[in-house]
């Protein structure tokens, strides 16, 4: 997802480039900077891209913010008002979103999905080699106060919440404390978690009791060697995921399984095995992501050393790069083959016959009328997205509309 938020506060224009896990939209800051420069308004860039590539970001802005902005924001505003903006504001890690509640009234009547986005924690302490989250947060994980979470939930009308945490169960004791506090609020929620949640019965009980409908879970691969090489420690794939998956089903949780394609151990055949695995378990949704070499990650550095990066090592800025294309030379196939196989698997996964087959899971996708509706509504939406986004060029869309 790319989130480009504009703040026209008369003294500055702000662009927040969030989520390099998906893509960076190359022309957004440049176009915005150009129009703002014409109006003589300073441009500030913040978020993942400026944090991971500060020197590059500085070429397109009057100032940048690296890290979480909260702790430097007031200073930045004071400097801007005094006409003494610094070039760079490096924010120290701090507890997220203290006291601040978002202005949700601004979304009213603007056609957003009836889901509230909130955040309990930021970052992740795991060190998966391909993960930009891990690099951005320097393997740290920080949580908000539970009382602030309760206050924010009570302040809004929507009772369906997406906690947009990178890994909501990274600190399991903190997550349990949150889930206990959610129970009396009678909300329903989804989030992102790692597969090891299934090994903690108390956590699973609290998760279900607090209204969890399901989670995005990063399976990444079904090959133990691949998991070892990417250093994804929560995934105990040597035992086959079978126990964990049956636990998730026993609690009726719908799973959005996320996979990464193109590891050195991946062959053409093993990628299709991955697809068969997901189909066999009738996951509600699945993401088949071509591995992206994000700058600042160990994966990027390894490919650079091995001279395997394509697009001059800057795919996010390259005029020839297209969305969902491999940006490196895989070990066991060509980059075009990897791109084509990933797209082929996405098409198979969202074909009408496959969607019908996956829907027939009494423990999850057919468990309640609500879960059936979630399954059908979003599978049809994701099918459209599969075709719409493939091969898209960066920088030619509507910069105001984030997408995932």
**Residue 52 found at the interface with ligand SF4 (CB under 6 A):** no
Nearer to ligand SF4, 19 or 254 (CB): 19
> Which among 103-111, 131-139, 337-345, 396-404 is the span making contact with ligand SF4, rule CB under 6 A?
131-139
**Residue 116 found at the interface with ligand SF4 (CB under 6 A):** no
Strand partners, 287: 258
Which two structure tokens, joined as six digits, stand for 176? 């349990």
CA distances from 29 to 19, 76, 247, 323 (A): 15, 19, 45, 18
- Minimal CA–CA distance to 49: which of 91, 88, 16, 97? 16
**Residue 141 found at the interface with ligand SF4 (CB under 6 A):** no
CB 340 to ligand SF4: min, Å:
25
Nearer to ligand SF4, 89 or 285 (CB): 285
Nearer to ligand SF4, 36 or 134 (CB): 134
**Residue 194 found at the interface with ligand SF4 (CB under 6 A):** yes
> Given the DSSP bridges, would you call strands 141-143 and 121-123 parallel, antiparallel or unpaired?
antiparallel
Q: What gap in Å lies between CA 342 and CA 348, rounded to an integer?
A: 10
* Cβ count within 10 A of residue 67: 20
Q: What gap in Å lies between CA 332 and CA 319, rounded to an integer?
A: 26
> Which among 104-112, 130-138, 281-289, 335-343 is the span making contact with ligand SF4, rule CB under 6 A?
130-138
Q: Which of 25, 26, 116, 167 binds ligand SF4 (CB under 6 A)?
A: 167
Nearer to ligand SF4, 1 or 381 (CB): 1
Q: What gap in Å lies between CA 227 and CA 240, rounded to an integer?
A: 12
Nearer to ligand SF4, 24 or 193 (CB): 193
Q: Which of 232, 282, 325, 371 binds ligand SF4 (CB under 6 A)?
A: 232
Nearer to ligand SF4, 134 or 143 (CB): 134
> Given the DSSP bridges, would you call strands 7-8 and 13-17 parallel, antiparallel or unpaired?
antiparallel
- Counting runs of H as helices and runs of E as strands, what totals does the chain give? 15, 13
Nearer to ligand SF4, 232 or 282 (CB): 232
Residue with tokens 């066999």: 280
CB 217 to ligand SF4: min, Å:
9
CB 168 to ligand SF4: min, Å:
10
**Residue 227 found at the interface with ligand SF4 (CB under 6 A):** no
Nearer to ligand SF4, 138 or 225 (CB): 138
Q: What is the dihedral of CA 222, 228, 231, 233, to 10 degrees?
A: 70
Q: What gap in Å lies between CA 290 and CA 195, rounded to an integer?
A: 20
Q: Which of 166, 244, 266, 361 binds ligand SF4 (CB under 6 A)?
A: 166
Nearer to ligand SF4, 232 or 249 (CB): 232
Q: Which of 20, 218, 293, 295 binds ligand SF4 (CB under 6 A)?
A: 218
**Residue 134 found at the interface with ligand SF4 (CB under 6 A):** yes
Q: Which of 43, 133, 149, 168 binds ligand SF4 (CB under 6 A)?
A: 133
Nearer to ligand SF4, 36 or 221 (CB): 221
Give the chain's length.
Answer: 404
CA distances from 51 to 58, 256, 305, 318, 403 (A): 10, 28, 22, 19, 21
Q: What gap in Å lies between CA 202 and CA 207, rounded to an integer?
A: 8
CB 195 to ligand SF4: min, Å:
9
CB 229 to ligand SF4: min, Å:
13
Strand partners, 328: 309
Q: What gap in Å lies between CA 182 and CA 209, rounded to an integer?
A: 9
3-state secondary structure of 65: strand
Which residues in this chain contact ligand SF4 in the complex, by CB under 6 A? 124, 126, 128, 131, 133-134, 166-167, 194, 218, 232, 234
């Amino acid at each position: 997802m790319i989130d480009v938020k504009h703040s026209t506060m008369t003294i500055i224009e702000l662009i927040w480039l969030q989520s390099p896990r998906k893509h960076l939209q190359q022309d957004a800051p440049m176009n915005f900077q150009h129009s703002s420069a014409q109006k003589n308004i300073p441009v500030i860039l913040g978020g993942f891209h400026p944090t991971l590539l500060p020197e590059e970001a500085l070429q397109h802005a009057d100032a940048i913010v690296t890290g979480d902005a909260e702790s430097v924001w007031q200073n930045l505003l004071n400097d801007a008002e005094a006409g003494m903006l610094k070039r760079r504001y490096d924010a120290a890690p701090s507890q997220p979103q203290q006291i601040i509640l978002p202005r949700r009234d601004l979304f009213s009547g603007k056609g957003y999905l009836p889901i509230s986005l909130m955040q309990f924690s930021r970052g992740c302490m795991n060190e998966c080699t391909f993960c930009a989250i891990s690099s951005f947060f320097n393997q740290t994980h920080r949580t908000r106060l539970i009382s602030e979470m309760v206050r924010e939930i009570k302040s809004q009308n929507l009772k369906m919440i997406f906690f947009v945490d990178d890994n909501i169960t990274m600190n399991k004791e903190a997550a349990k404390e949150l889930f206990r506090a959610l129970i009396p609020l009678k909300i329903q929620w989804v989030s992102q978690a790692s597969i090891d949640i299934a090994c903690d019965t108390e956590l699973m009980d609290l998760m279900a009791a607090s209204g969890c409908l399901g989670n995005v879970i990063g399976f990444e691969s079904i090959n133990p060697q691949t998991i070892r090489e990417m250093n994804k420690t929560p995934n105990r794939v040597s035992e086959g995921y079978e126990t964990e998956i049956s636990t998730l089903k026993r609690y009726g949780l719908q799973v959005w399984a996320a996979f990464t394609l193109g590891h050195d151990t991946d062959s053409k055949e093993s990628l299709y095995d991955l697809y068969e695995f997901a189909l066999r378990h009738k996951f509600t949704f699945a993401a088949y992501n071509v591995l992206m070499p994000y700058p600042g990650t160990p994966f990027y550095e390894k490919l650079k050393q091995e001279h395997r990066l394509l697009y001059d090592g800057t795919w996010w800025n390259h005029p020839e790069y297209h969305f969902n294309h491999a940006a490196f030379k895989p070990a066991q196939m060509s980059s075009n083959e990897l791109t084509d196989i990933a797209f082929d698997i996405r098409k198979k996964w969202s074909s009408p016959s496959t969607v019908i087959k996956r829907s027939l899971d009494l423990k999850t996708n057919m468990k309640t009328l609500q879960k059936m509706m979630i399954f059908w509504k979003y599978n049809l939406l994701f099918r459209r997205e599969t075709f719409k986004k493939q091969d898209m060029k960066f920088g030619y869309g509507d910069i105001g509309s984030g997408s995932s």
